[in-house]
Amino acid sequence: MDQGQSDADRLDGRVILVTGAAEGIGRAVALGCAAAGATVVLSQSNESDLTDVYDQIEADGGPEPAILPLNPETATEDDFLAAANVLGDTFRRLDGLAHCASYAPFLSRIDDYDASEWDRVIRINLTTPFLLTQVCMPLLRASEDASVIFTSDRVGRQGLAYWGAYAAAKFGIEGLMQVLAAEMRENGKIRVNSIDPGVVRTALRARLYPGENALNNPLPETIAGVYVRLLGPAGRGTNGAALQAQDPA
């Protein structure tokens, strides 16, 4: 067991699906879950993008991970069902689902927002998390203690100018989290929450703030522990909460 890590922070024996696992927050969460003892299912559009994080988990001595290629922009309902069937055939259950994939192409006035790009942003940031969660519900119900985490954003809790479809999608994520958490409350075996990771050093942040010194921003690894704790025994009793990974400035 890792020194300094309590039993409540361990994920031994758990199967955790992490989307957006190739980079940024998703990669950090996947590595953190594996270090805590979980079998991590790594999901990204292209299988080749996951080679590095897969190899890192093995090099660190974590449980052998699995790879689930799934394109959040183009996957159909049948693709999501097929993915859930693969998970079911392989693991029989799912103990955690961490939605870490996010996409925002630019900052723009609503006046100027391209309609096709609006649809793309909503699809990746809201519709796909809904569809994946929906098909995984039977697997989550098969667990004795399951946790679903939606990655939110400050602009999904207080709208800001120029954030367009991304803000709208993240507001939708907060609503989806609250609805699903309410539906799961009587069951008691599945808890559903959202996390605002705050400002971290990711490719998405760099694209939207090209003039910013990225080295001033904390690495994704600094906030991954919040996800890991919420996915494990330490998160029991927390349901329907809109959490922050960093203390408000």
Residue 3 in this model has a pLDDT that exceeds 60: no
**Which DSSP string corresponds to 57-102?**
HHHTTPPPPEEEE--TTT--HHHHHHHHHHHHHHHS--SEEEE---
Instruction: Provide the CB-side half-sphere exposure for 113 (13 A, CA).
Output: 24
Q: What are 60-80's pLDDT values in tens digits?
A: 999 999 999 999 999 999 999
Evaluated on CA atoms 194, 198, 203, 208, the torsion sign reads positive
Q: If you average pLDDT over residues 90-114, what whole number do you get?
A: 96
Token pair for 91: 């693991």
* 68 and 47 Cβ atoms separated by less than 8 Å: no
Q: If you average pLDDT over residues 139-166, what whole number do you get?
A: 97
- Decide if 227 is catalytic: no
pLDDT confidence of residue 186: 82
Query: How far from chain centre, in Å, is Cα 189?
Result: 19
Q: What pLDDT band is residue 9 in, cutting at 50, 70 and 90?
A: confident
pLDDT confidence of residue 5: 59
Token pair for 75: 């996957």
Residue 151 in this model has a pLDDT that exceeds 60: yes
Catalytic, out of 54, 166, 209, 227:
166
pLDDT confidence of residue 4: 44
Encode burial over 109-124: b for 16+ CB neighbours within 10 A, e otherwise. Answer: eeeeeeeeebebbbbb
